[in-house]
Amino acid sequence: MHSNIVVALDYADAQDALQLASELDPSLCKLKVGKELFTTAGPHLVEQLQSRGFQVFLDLKFHDIPNTVGKACEAASRLGVWMLNVHASGGSAMMQAAREGVDKSGQEPLLIAVTVLTSMTQENLTEIGIHTPLQQHALHLADLAHQAGLDGVVCSAHEANSIKKAISKDFVTVTPGIRPASASLDDQSRVMTPARALQMGADYLVIGRPITQAENPLLALQAIHQEIRTHVNQND
Ligand code: C5P
């Protein structure tokens, strides 16, 4: 079964990540490995997760000179991951190099870009010399990513619709900041429910703590699928 839920494995070591994976079902979710976990557990963990049937989003957000990013993307693709990403602010040449690196690997992961980090405010952008309104800047970077041949972007579910409208309905949107109706917000501020995010044009939902911190992660994941199905049926 194709699942559009990506569980964020925000753990410090392989043991905790593998424990959670053993409680989940690869037909119900994919897994996201980020900088902390990859730094401690490395490619071996990615291979272990994949050998258990999980598709992996390698969230390392590469940003460097084009040659380095191209090589890093090629290496990441060779791990057989399902999705990987770079920072769009690295520019067109860097993103084109990323595209070429992925294409050279012989694998076909989705290659997506981060536009403006959601932790950034307008003041933070001004500080680094960018005076364009934040939303406009994010859309500009999404457009650059599309022109460089990338497959999509990480964005807020609140922006997924306008990005698809401005660029293409096939441009993939991956959205964090998702909270089931009953869950705590943790430190997220602009959240959306899974069903609403999908309605708004999100293709994949990145969900961490509502599943990883649940008493029973599999039940939490199944409940999210149920919440989505109920909502979709109501809107038929
Ligand atoms: O636990 P939670 O559902 O908030 O986890 C969301 C995941 O998505 C985390 O791995 C977080 O780093 C990531 N993320 C995010 N906001 C972004 C980009 C990534 O929350 N804009």
Q: Which of 30, 35, 61, 71 is catalytic?
A: 61
pLDDT tens per residue, the chain (236 residues)? 579 999 999 999 999 999 999 999 999 999 999 999 999 999 999 999 999 999 999 999 999 999 999 999 999 999 999 999 999 999 999 999 999 999 999 999 999 999 999 888 999 999 999 999 999 999 999 999 999 999 999 999 999 999 999 999 999 999 999 999 888 888 877 789 999 999 999 999 999 999 999 999 999 999 999 999 998 767 65
Taking the centre of ligand 1 as the mean of its atom positions, its distance from the CA of residue 236, in whole angstroms, is 30
* Cα separation, 32 vs 75, whole angstroms: 17
Task: State the Cα–Cα distance between residues 101 and 83, nearest whole angstrom.
Answer: 14
User: Ligand 1 centroid vs 95 CA: distance in angstroms?
Assistant: 22
pTM summary value? 0.95
| Residue 32 alpha carbon, nearest atom of ligand 1 | 10
In CATH, the number for domain 5-234 is 3.20.20.70
Q: Can you give the three-state secondary structure of 98-163, one letter per residue?
A: HHHHHHHCCCCCEEEEECCCCCCCHHHHHHCCCCCCHHHHHHHHHHHHHHCCCCEEECCHHHHHHH
Residue among 51, 44, 49, 145 at smallest CA distance from 94? 145
* Closest C-alpha to ligand 1, atom 10: 8
For the question of residue 35 being annotated catalytic, the response is no
Please report the atom of ligand 1 found closest to the CA of residue 188.
Answer: 4
Q: What amino acid is encoded at 77 in this protein?
A: S
**Domains of the chain, residue spans:** 5-234
Probe target for ligand 1 pocket from 206, 209, 211, with the most ligand atoms within 8 Å of CB: 206
Name which of 196, 199, 174, 176 is nearest 187 in CA terms: 176
